[in-house]
Chain A
Amino acid sequence: MSHPQAIVLVGVIISILTLGVVTVLGSAKDENSTSNTKQFGGHTPGYGTYQTTGSVLDPTSLPTDPKNSVVDPMKFLREFNHGRVSHSADGSTIREFTVIASDQSTREISPGVNYNVWTFNNTVPGPTLRATEGDLIRINFINNGSGFHTMHFHGIHPSEMDGVFEGIAPGGKFTYEFIAEPFGVFPYHCHIQPLEEHITHGLYGTLIIDPKKPRANADEMVMMMNGYDTDFDTENNFYTVNGIPYYYMHHPIKIEEGKLIRIYLVNMLEFDPLNNFHLHANLFNFYKTGTSLVPDEYTDIVTMNQGERGILEFSYKFPGKYMFHAHKTEFAEKGWMGSFLVTEPENAVNASSFTNITTAITNPTNGGLS
């Protein structure tokens, strides 16, 4: 008689214990009642904003810490390094640059994401070097890294200045010297194998050679399209223009209505076979490789393979905020997007008030985030 009852009792006890354990394991300790609520979301139309007591993971609204940032994209945008200028006996211009390669530092490439970058002069992308056709370019290259590195320039120069066959050892130096020709936009990058590794870590930059008769006066900027494979699976985790994903989305590039804008655009994206640039609400004249003064195309989108580049010229007809991004939407949604804020040139008061309104409309969450 009592045997089954005893077993039932055991059964009941076991069930109670099991229920207890499940409840304990199931209820994760997520109750953390702080009144410190923050807003997140809201920059994508139709999504609204959300409240949280926790941390916000939001690369499109949060500014990157400038101190540990791999580059300051706003500074980089319009920074052209013309070198130390001197003149040779025959009167031609000599431009001397110092470029230091390093490969040891870990820097922030997207909010919170740290990655071991290999750099020319401490930034990714490396410095934008600029000369005029016919100048003598002299680059004092110092390898401050732990492995071999070189500088390989696209353009016309002698074999020994090509930076391919003679790797520069750690601690070593080399002087690259060549006449700037022809005019155009040229990438430079490290040419030590595995090439893929040296490029994807960040050893690249832009060389601009201006024609002897300068191009028309314009608001000039350089844009380097790149990516980062932070988990080494030969697929990029982040795509950027000028080094930091989404940067120009939350820091729009201010330009003037009607003013000629000239962009020196270079694609150094590794792994993906192509990349592109699409401009909103406008078209641009495209000068492939920048080697001609006659535009090749009048378009709103240009597609490039790795190493390809060109010059874009356009001006905005109406004030407002306009996006530009890769029309490979995957790249756009992994960081390769930005925006121009077009303001009216004369009336500074109007322009600034307009700026505030636009920022408030498009980015309502920023106030609560910092």
Chain B
Amino acid sequence: MERETGIIKDSISKKKIVFFGIVPFAILSMMIVLILSYPSLFFSGQFIVVPEISIEKVEFEPLKIIATVSNTGHSEVSIVQADVNDRIHSAAMEPDNTLERFESARVIIPFSWNEGQPYGIGLTTDDGTRFEKTIQFATLTPQPTLKQASNFALIGTYVGVIPVMIGLLWYPFIRKLSLNKYNFFLSFTLGLLVFLGMDALLEGNEIVVRDISSAFHGQMLLIMVAILSLVSLIYISSKLMKNARAKSSEPEYPVYTEVSKEDGSNVSSVQSSRQHLIIRPVALSMMIAIGIGLHNFGEGLAIGAAVLLGEVALSSFLILGFTLHNTTEGLAIVAPMARNKKLAIAKLILMGLIAGVPTIIGSWIGGFLYSPLATIIFLGIGAGAIFQVVYSVGSWMYYNNNKVLASLPIVSGFMLGIFIMYITGLLV
């Protein structure tokens, strides 16, 4: 009986399922048509459209100030007047002064500005609303010349490449450590990474608040990109690990057996964690290097943008601060490799470059083609990448320590890692 009725229902419901799948869409489209055709049914009185524009970038050229403005409101808007420090000036707007939604244009104001002075750039829309952006101090916008590019490359090298390389020099030291000390340094690394990830998000948030109109929901975008980056990197890395292992004839967990041999720790844990252990230390280091590389790319963007926007006078002290801060990143890369028997100098250098060089590329892009939206997207990707590394290192340690992370070396290492980053961060 039951089975028969079930079959009958199934045959009928195929059409019904399609029907019920369509019904909500049909109702929704009817509602849309109704609202758009007869708005007066729903709203009494006039629609008041509030214009909103956002000045995203202000550049200073000889005898000229150039503002990039975009329409972040809900309707077309015309910009009819420009001012500098609230004094009206002649200006040109290219391609033209009418902006569709999300369209952007450049406002060129001939103005004899003075180096190092703050300026407020104002634009007035056709309904008389004035929008302003303040620049802390005016400085000639870096032009993509060879000299400027090599200047950025030098800064990037000091801030990104050299510190990571210095950090890598801890490799021989780390190799000689006992398991407890090794755990301490690995969790120390985790602490550093968690700090870096949060730092990227906070830095992104600063840019959102300063440069990005609320229309883009910048904070949500930042967090969303970070989550997407985290989830997809976890997926990609585990997929690649599985494929690589399937193809290679190597034993599945060579490193782990080494560890257990050296320390004489129990074999049962090897058995129990077999399914979960999929990452080898070298690969783990490489993942950390890539994660830090993505992070440093975002950092490079921010440094380039800071120079472009005249927000930072890059002093030698600031660069020193960055150097100290980033040296810890090198330590993070070598930490997982400590139990490796082979010395892999070439690989270490490669990893150092992967982690450090993106700073240079980032500063070029940030300095020459600053886009706040792109910067927060990359800061989000960088944060996601860092958290993916935290996840990988964390789970690796978890299975290497009999699923117990609450040991003194691990907890104290983690806390010290965050604290050291905070202290060195004060120098920046």
Interface residues of A (CB under 8 A from B): 1-4, 6-8, 10-11, 14-15, 18-19, 21-23, 25-28, 30, 32, 38, 40-44, 46-48, 50, 52-61, 109-115, 228, 230-231, 237, 245, 330, 333-335
Contacts of B280 in A (CB 8 A): 3
Please judge, given known A-B contacts A15-B358, A30-B105, A112-B126, whether A334 and B88 are in contact too, CB under 8 Å. yes
Would you give 19 A-B contacts (Cβ < 8 Å), ordered by A?
A1-B248, A2-B244, A3-B240, A3-B280, A7-B290, A10-B240, A11-B293, A28-B68, A30-B106, A50-B64, A50-B92, A54-B96, A56-B93, A57-B80, A57-B90, A111-B80, A112-B78, A228-B128, A335-B88
**CB under 8 Å from chain A, chain B span 282-302:** 282-283, 286-287, 290, 293-294, 297
Contacts of A25 in B (CB 8 A): 371, 373-374, 377
Residue of A nearest to B111 (CB): A47
Q: How far in angstroms is the closest Cβ of chain B from A119?
A: 16
B104 within 8 A of A: yes
Contacts of B230 in A (CB 8 A): none
Q: What is the 8 Å Cβ interface bit string for chain B, positions 206-243, against chain A (1 contact, 0 not)? A: 00000000000000000000000000000011001101
Q: How far in angstroms is the closest Cβ of chain A from B170?
A: 20
Known: A41-B110, A57-B80, A57-B91. 10 other contacts (CB 8 A): A7-B237, A7-B240, A10-B290, A14-B381, A15-B361, A30-B105, A30-B106, A54-B96, A112-B81, A112-B126
A306 to B128 CA separation, bound complex (whole angstroms): 23
Q: Which 4 A-B pairs have the closest CB atoms?
A: A230-B128, A112-B80, A26-B369, A54-B94
Contacts of B128 in A (CB 8 A): 109, 113-115, 228, 230-231, 237
Contacts of B245 in A (CB 8 A): 3
A113 to B110 CA separation, bound complex (whole angstroms): 21
Q: How far in angstroms is the closest Cβ of chain B from A353?
A: 28
Contact A23 B91 (CB under 8 A): no
B354 within 8 A of A: yes
Contact A245 B88 (CB under 8 A): yes
Contact A54 B93 (CB under 8 A): yes
B129 within 8 A of A: yes
Most chain B beta-carbon contacts within 10 A, residue among A8, A15, A28: A28
**CB under 8 Å from chain A, chain B span 350-396:** 350, 354, 358, 361, 365, 369-371, 373-374, 377-378, 381
A88 to B83 CA separation, bound complex (whole angstroms): 56
Total interface residues on B, CB under 8 Å, equals 68
B247 within 8 A of A: yes
A30 to B68 CA separation, bound complex (whole angstroms): 10
Residue of A nearest to B229 (CB): A14
B82 within 8 A of A: yes
A330 to B87 CA separation, bound complex (whole angstroms): 7
Contact A30 B95 (CB under 8 A): yes
Please judge, given known A-B contacts A3-B240, A21-B374, A22-B371, whether A57 and B92 are in contact too, CB under 8 Å. yes
Please judge, given known A-B contacts A10-B240, A30-B95, whether A4 and B347 are in contact too, CB under 8 Å. yes
Residue of A nearest to B293 (CB): A11
Q: How far in angstroms is the closest Cβ of chain B from A260?
A: 34
B63 within 8 A of A: yes
Contact B80 A231 (CB under 8 A): no
Contact A26 B365 (CB under 8 A): yes
Residue of A nearest to B131 (CB): A231
B79 within 8 A of A: yes
Among B96, B240, B381, point to the contact of A18 (Cβ < 8 A). Answer: B381
Among A6, A22, A115, point to the contact of B240 (Cβ < 8 A). Answer: A6
Among B92, B236, B371, point to the contact of A52 (Cβ < 8 A). Answer: B92
Residue of A nearest to B385 (CB): A14
B260 within 8 A of A: no
Residue of A nearest to B247 (CB): A2
Contact A28 B104 (CB under 8 A): yes
B107 within 8 A of A: yes
Residue of A nearest to B297 (CB): A18
Contact A114 B88 (CB under 8 A): no
Contact A54 B92 (CB under 8 A): yes
